Amino acid sequence: MVAMDQRDSLRTMMAERTGRDRDRVGDGDMTGFKLAVARELGPYASALLIDRHYGCDRMLAERALPDSCAPILAADALTQEPGGPVTGTAIDQAVVPDAAAADGIRALKLLVIWQRDGLRAHRTEMAERFVRMCRAAGLASVLEPVARPTPGEAAEGTFRLNDAIVEAATELAPLRPSLYKCQVPDGGKGTVERIAAEAARIHAVVDVPWVVLSQGVEPDDFPRAVEAACRAGASGFLAGRALWTSALGAPDPVAALRGECAERLRLLGEIVDRHGRPWWSAVREAHDAEGGAA
């Protein structure tokens, strides 16, 4: 699955890759790139995630995705300074689940910035509300916690990414989203065996289908990271940067998407086919676990 819902982060990446000032990267540039990703990578993906600000309406109206690729809409409002990271999220009140479903959207996604701070209960309540509203509209829910250190942890050097990923999953996976999307342990560094051993800790506490994202993972490391996660029980990936970043600064971005980026996605899909836990198997196991707990 392809993630193309980056907003200010994409503007920054486009500026860095093309050598332009951020202010010279217009909304039309971002929308055009997102639509090109949909057209060129959609045929090789089972789903594509996009935001409402840059291209969703046009993507649907122009039927940029093949029928085999399900559109997912980001339902998160981001707190983000220009050029900086996302520091917080909320449910985007402009996203109406029933209307999205009527437009052909198949799922909604919510990013949650997870930290060991005083807002943990608030974030859990927000995530629970998100899952409920998706169910009520007949939409799948994609929950994406991203673990970050608190300022104190960062200053003291006490933050351990792998432990935080598992702790976040222990809190949020029991909300039973349709799909749980999480970070790759160790940022994808190390052997397949090492990453798989850490990813198995995630699998032990997530009893719904889960996939990995590519943020924080070098593109060359991502195939190994996907294989490791799949060997541990993941059903694949929902990734953006590892797939299409190289096209941003290419002389012909569309040609780059159609060529090297599409080939990268195809090869990653083959890894998932060989090693991933089938989606239907994961759903069945989750359903059985839910029934046993009832």
Q: Give the C-alpha separation, 210 to 168, whole Å.
A: 13
Give kind and range of the element (H or E) at residue 123: helix 120-136
Sign of the alpha-carbon torsion through 81, 87, 90, 95:
positive
Residue of 114, 192, 207 whose CA lies nearest to 153: 114
Show the 3-state SS of 29-78.
HHHHHHHHHHHHHHHHCCEEEECCCCCHHHHHHCCCCCCCCEEEEECEEE
Q: The tokens 């089972």 sit on which residue?
A: 46
Q: Which residues are catalytic?
A: 181
Amino acid present at 155: A
